[in-house]
Amino acid sequence: MLFADRNPLTNKTTYYKTVFYAVMSASIVIMLVSLWATDGWLARTFIFAGGNPNTDTFMDFFNSVVNTYNNPYDAKVIYPAICSLIYRLFLKLIMPQDFESVIINPDKSAQPPELKIYQSFMFAYIIFALVVIVLFFLAIGALMRSKGNADKTLMAFFCLFSAPFLFLIERGNILILSLVFTMLFIAYYDHKNKAVREIALICLAFAIAIKIYPVVFGVILLNEKKYKELIRAAIYTLIVFFVPFLFFGGIEGVGKFIRNLNSTSSNNSAGINRQLSFQKFAIYLGKVFGSDSGVWMVIGKVIMVVFSAVGAFCLFISKERWKTCALCVCLIVGVPSMSSRYSLTFLIIPIILLIMDEYENKAFSYVCLSIMSAIFLVKPIYIKWFSDINIYIGYKIDSFLYLALFIILCVNIIFVFVKRVRCKNETHGRA
């Protein structure tokens, strides 16, 4: 069935798809009506606006492409070398005369937005967007390979029109490739064909090499005692991560990359309103209550350490794939000091796994799915008295939602674990 699933063994019907499709249908209607009613102005409340909403669109892509003209790590780039190598391929699509007409210093982290009036610059982005969207559709098909084409198409369509995906495409951020490779890993790591399983490990390596934090998905191999596969995945990751640095100064390039990363991560004041990490959320609360920011910074670090430890423990005791992956996403969003809304796109993985794997109607599963769907919901919120901060309201709502998801997942996983251990001890006692 298109909007519900029936378990052939129990003959029970579940409505997880119904919930997700209903929320996303409402999201698209809300988005379109709000945009039509405000002549497009409310788009500023759910996509990046920055200092000037008229100039920064697609600039994650264009800044990164231009920075590869020389050594990108001299331009303080924090992307791994495989990203810079991919961006350099798109640099080759830009005509030299266009580049020289608008680019004054290719090593500046922020390039002139006027470059977007040149056709070859925009053509490079169009090619990038088309490629990643097609790859995303293919990844959805792989992850939902037991479903029909209508389900796959609907899922991809609704995801592309969700708030995190719209933000991701608007930024032109390469994270979408990391997401695609992670989805392919989840889809094929347990495939019956050995060659396909090996390709899945290579996909995980590329996902990690592009954005690093998908490394947490390696816990799936660890939990299923696939130790040899885990070792091979680690080897592939080291190769994919370090070999591209040969094009950017070798060992010296690695050192510059690490220094750039440390410098950016240590900037605790950067983008608090637009950051979703555990620590930045605590600092934001301190600002709201007018408290000493230094105190809340310490509180934020403590919360980050405690949540990370609890989350890691829960990852190792979780027995359901969708819960494990949902917890991985919460840690991907919460642990890094700089974490933006597009990281939430990884939630599509636990959403699909929940729909695919959950054959019973469980209240807890519906609650989690509702929270994840609410995160994907476009939130064109406008409060008259706070016109300068409307863009950040959606971020804070998403912060509360994913923190709620993280907490209830941890509580549920620990509860199930304790119950499982107790039942095991009682069984041994009777024996």
Would you say 170 and 58 are in contact if contact means Cβ atoms under 8 Å apart?
yes
> In Å, how far are 276, 288, 376 from 26, measured between CA atoms?
25, 31, 11
Confidence of residue 391 (pLDDT cuts 50, 70, 90): low
What residue type is 309 in one-letter code?
A: A
Helix (H) or strand (E) holding 121: helix 119-143
> In percent, how much of the chain has pLDDT > 70?
88
Residue given tokens 């519906």 in the structure block: 366
Q: In sequence order, what are the residues at sequence separation of 6 or more whose Cβ sits closer than 8 angstroms to the Cβ of residue 52?
A: none
Domains of the chain, residue spans: 57-266
Would you say 277 and 396 are in contact if contact means Cβ atoms under 8 Å apart?
no
> At 84, is the secondary structure helix, strand, or coil?
helix
What gap in Å lies between CA 11 and CA 366, rounded to an integer? 19
Give the model's pLDDT for residue 387: 47
Say which DSSP state 51 is in.
S
Would you say 158 and 24 are in contact if contact means Cβ atoms under 8 Å apart?
yes
Handedness of CA 185, 190, 191, 197 (dihedral sign): positive
> At 362, is the secondary structure helix, strand, or coil?
coil
Would you say 69 and 108 are in contact if contact means Cβ atoms under 8 Å apart?
no
Give the model's pLDDT for residue 296: 75
Give the model's pLDDT for residue 146: 79
End-to-end CA distance of the chain: give it in Å, rounded. 46
> In Å, how far are 54, 161, 394 from 41, measured between CA atoms?
11, 18, 15
| pLDDT tens profile 172-205 | 999 999 999 999 999 999 999 999 999 999 999 9
pLDDT above 90 (res 272): no
> In Å, how far are 172, 267, 394 from 342, measured between CA atoms?
10, 20, 13
Query: Nearest Cα to 341, choosing from 296, 398, 409?
Result: 398
Helix (H) or strand (E) holding 6: strand 5-6
| pLDDT tens profile 129-184 | 999 999 999 999 999 987 888 899 999 999 999 989 998 998 899 999 999 999 99
What gap in Å lies between CA 57 and CA 310, rounded to an integer? 37
**Higher confidence at residue 119 or residue 285?**
119
Range in 55-69, 260-274, 390-404, 411-425 the model is least confident about: 260-274
Give the model's pLDDT for residue 64: 94
**Higher confidence at residue 315 or residue 427?**
315
Side-chain-side CA neighbours of 141 within 13 Å: the count stands at: 9
Q: In the numeric block, which tokens belong to residue 340?
A: 């933006």
Handedness of CA 287, 293, 299, 303 (dihedral sign): positive
Handedness of CA 372, 197, 134, 355 (dihedral sign): negative
Confidence of residue 51 (pLDDT cuts 50, 70, 90): very low
Handedness of CA 32, 342, 348, 308 (dihedral sign): negative
Mean pLDDT of 269-285: 69
Handedness of CA 345, 346, 351, 356 (dihedral sign): positive
What gap in Å lies between CA 185 and CA 218, rounded to an integer? 10
Average per-residue pLDDT in the chain?
Answer: 87
Query: Nearest Cα to 325, choosing from 216, 234, 410, 162?
Result: 216
Query: Nearest Cα to 256, choosing from 61, 60, 79, 105?
Result: 79
Residue given tokens 């403590």 in the structure block: 302
